[in-house]
Amino acid sequence: MAIHRGSVWSDSAALVISTLASVVLMPVGATAQALADVQTPDTPLVLKAQGSFFIGGETVEQTKVQLGDLGPGGHITINQMYVRYMVPQGGEANVPVVMLHGATLTGKSWETTPDGRMGWDEYFVRKGHPVYVPDQVGRGRSGFNQAVLNDVRAGLATPDRLPPWLRFSDEGVWPNFRFGAKPGEPFADTQFPMAAIGELSKQAVPDPSFGFPQPNPNWKALADLAGQLKGAVLMGHSQSGSFPLEAALLNPTAAKGLVLVEPGRCPEYTAEQIKTLASVPTLVVFGDHRDTPTGLPTLPTWQQRFEMCQATTGRVRAAAGRAEMLAPPARGVR
Amino acid sequence: MAIHRGSVWSDSAALVISTLASVVLMPVGATAQALADVQTPDTPLVLKAQGSFFIGGETVEQTKVQLGDLGPGGHITINQMYVRYMVPQGGEANVPVVMLHGATLTGKSWETTPDGRMGWDEYFVRKGHPVYVPDQVGRGRSGFNQAVLNDVRAGLATPDRLPPWLRFSDEGVWPNFRFGAKPGEPFADTQFPMAAIGELSKQAVPDPSFGFPQPNPNWKALADLAGQLKGAVLMGHSQSGSFPLEAALLNPTAAKGLVLVEPGRCPEYTAEQIKTLASVPTLVVFGDHRDTPTGLPTLPTWQQRFEMCQATTGRVRAAAGRAEMLAPPARGVR
């Protein structure tokens, strides 16, 4: 991988990328995760700080019914984003990395793997980077706006007002996540620890964001988080793969680098937007078996997504920016 | 506080209780939480291990519609419990502490406080205890079963099939959490950092568990977690305050101690159940202003809950068990 070093590509960002390349190549185990299977590292993890906080949030007034009909009506907060963090001792001055998860998932994505290995969160902390792991607005510890659910329950709104709540079936993830073309038939060269697929299933939560208004509130939350961190590398995955681009457009000076892990799309930006994105180093990572039909015919295939991002990164480079595609299989590594 | 030491009251459990007493008396700050307000300890946190895993979960088959109508129907996992943990270096042999949160909240309850101070999770880790923080089944990173929501949306189920999704209004928490009898009028001696009340509001998520079938699936998950830990002190708060009792009834040998922080109820157990609970040391903690009307007239007041637990702990003691009430205000400390 050719990493261009220059005024816009800090050494810190380059370190994140080299750390990422190591993660992609980490060997996988073959045991199913349970508490007894969770692995313990050989050396302790020394943290300057750890904890959690929220970004954003709006105060809205809701009725007694909308609040579940137990207590009085009044105000609540919606659209806040929960963020958990770990700062390594001695690494507090290094560029922070924000890891945002994909569809039907939460920040758990970046923690202990389904087969009990260290998550990317701790891996990057051990490489010296402060790591910030949000739950997307509307999911996990960020909560969601329940008002319409309770209104429908009470007959005060029609059921078509409900958002769709998405989950992927265990069978559906085989072709979509490219473990194999058909459920139960893994590719001979799959890198996923198939014995732990049941543990992956437990990571899923209902995802209401397909019913979100645009712009997706996560874009601003991500940009605000980068700003409050006074600069960060922003990493998105799958559904959120393009969110770092959107956050960079909202706050380009706070985006020190963008890492798009198998983004679900690379939007067709205007020339002005591409010019802005050219100020931020960007890496787009895709894995193998991209031509597998996903079983989701209304969405692009992974190969189509790859080509969309090839086009976007090409435009960024043509605007004198730094944007690279990283496809480990094409380099002989899986 | 008289801590009885005996065959059922381990030194480790006593250490947890003394740690708890210190936490209750921790001074509070007065600043609102934001990333910039989050405090960093003076000394690093040295962890043997940290990460997350799931307890339990059931595989069920759902239709395309029930899964949100994007991908194919098939199987998913429901009723799993997400658990995040930290194990202190050198404390791995000490008794673990499980901290379960209350209504409309998640494990965030035990992390960084609304005004940016260290959470109870890290505080107990720094005192030498492995700490395990779940999200209750149906909330946060544990997810929930979305099938009925999508069925109602599609007109395949009637709206009355929806569970109530509870949240407390910002106004309602003043009397219910006893910050003051009325919103905006804190008690002169309140210990809550009122400037951070907006940050507390962000911790709330919709709570579907008032529609759960009985027995509440969290009871078994908590008992199973204690079993997999080969013994743990189980701490519940408010809504989940009685869950440690229920988990101890399911697996009394794995329950090394029970801490009930302002439990919403102390159930009327049978003589046989009380005999089982007498094998596990139990501490029940209540704060001040318990006679404040909660604004939730269908539920007991905090004073009524206090008296329920006085009765239960009295029965446990009469059965030769160890069960104590701790009310710091009655001891002249707030």
Q: What is the ipTM of this complex?
A: 0.92
Q: What is the pLDDT of residues A100-130, one digit of tens each?
A: 999 999 999 999 999 999 999 999 999 999 9
Instruction: Enumerate the residues of chain B whose CB falls inside 8 A of the CB of residue A229.
Output: 35
Q: Is A51 part of the contact surface with chain B (CB cutoff 8 Å)?
A: yes
Q: What is the pLDDT of residues B221-243, one digit of tens each?
A: 999 999 999 999 999 999 999 99
Residue of A73, A87, A164 lying closest to B68 (CB–CB): A164
Mean pLDDT, range B289-311, rounded to an integer: 96
Q: Is B301 part of the contact surface with chain A (CB cutoff 8 Å)?
A: no
Among all residues of chain B, which has the CA nearest to that of A121? B51
Q: Is B167 part of the contact surface with chain A (CB cutoff 8 Å)?
A: yes
**Are A144 and B73 inside 8 Å of each other by CB?**
no
| DSSP-derived secondary structure for B148-217 | HHHHHHTTSS-GGGSPP-B---TTTHHHHTTS-SBTTB--TT--S-GGGHHHHHHT---B-GGGPPSSPH
**Are B167 and A160 inside 8 Å of each other by CB?**
no
Q: What angle do CA A294, A297, A300 make, to 5 degrees?
A: 70
For residue B25, pLDDT beyond 50: no
CA distance A281 to chain B (A): 25
Chain B (85-114) residues lying within 8 Å, Cβ to Cβ, of chain A: 86-87, 89, 106-108, 111-112
Mean pLDDT, range B142-150, rounded to an integer: 98
Q: Over chain B, what is the mean pLDDT?
A: 91
Residue of A76, A140, A149 lying closest to B170 (CB–CB): A76
Question: What is the pLDDT confidence band of residue B12, given thresholds at 50, 70 and 90?
Answer: very low
* Tens of pLDDT, residue by residue, chain A (334 residues): 233 333 334 444 455 555 555 544 443 333 334 788 899 999 999 999 999 999 999 999 999 999 999 999 999 999 999 999 999 999 999 999 999 999 999 999 999 999 999 999 999 999 999 999 999 999 999 999 999 999 999 999 999 999 999 999 999 999 999 999 999 999 999 989 999 999 999 999 999 999 998 999 999 999 999 999 999 999 999 999 999 999 999 999 999 999 999 999 999 999 999 999 999 999 999 999 999 999 999 999 999 999 999 999 999 999 999 999 998 777 776 5
For an interface test with B, give the residue of A69, A77, A158 to mutate (most B CBs within 10 A): A77
**Are B164 and A52 inside 8 Å of each other by CB?**
no
**Are B70 and A108 inside 8 Å of each other by CB?**
no
Q: Is A301 part of the contact surface with chain B (CB cutoff 8 Å)?
A: no
Mean pLDDT, range B25-50, rounded to an integer: 74
Instruction: Enumerate the residues of chain B whose CB falls inside 8 A of the CB of residue A81.
Output: none
What is the structure's pLDDT at B258?
Answer: 98
Instruction: Enumerate the residues of chain A whose CB falls inside 8 A of the CB of residue B164.
Output: 68-70, 150, 153
Mean pLDDT, range B189-215, rounded to an integer: 95
Phi, psi torsion values for A9, nearest 5 degrees: -115, 90
Chain B (177-236) residues lying within 8 Å, Cβ to Cβ, of chain A: 183, 198-199, 201-207, 210, 225, 228-229
Among all residues of chain B, which has the CA nearest to that of A147? B165
**Are A198 and B44 inside 8 Å of each other by CB?**
no
For residue B293, pLDDT beyond 80: yes
CA distance A25 to chain B (A): 21
Residue of B76, B153, B295 lying closest to A169 (CB–CB): B76
Q: What is the pLDDT of residues A131-166, one digit of tens each?
A: 999 999 999 999 999 999 999 999 999 999 999 999
What is the structure's pLDDT at A27?
Answer: 36
Among all residues of chain A, which has the CA nearest to that of B141? A140
What is the structure's pLDDT at B17?
Answer: 53
Give the Cβ contact number of residue A314 at 10 Å.
12
Chain A (55-84) residues lying within 8 Å, Cβ to Cβ, of chain B: 55, 57, 59, 62, 67-77, 80, 82-84
What is the structure's pLDDT at B19?
Answer: 55
Question: What is the pLDDT confidence band of residue B34, given thresholds at 50, 70 and 90?
Answer: confident
For an interface test with B, give the residue of A67, A202, A296 to mutate (most B CBs within 10 A): A202
What is the structure's pLDDT at A14?
Answer: 52
For A198, the token pair is: 């049941």
Residue of B44, B47, B204 lying closest to A143 (CB–CB): B204
CA distance B94 to chain A (A): 16
Asked if residue A199 lies in contact with residue A33, where contact means CB atoms within 8 angstroms, the answer is yes
What is the structure's pLDDT at A204?
Answer: 98
CA dihedral B230, B231, B235, B240 (to 10 degrees): 60
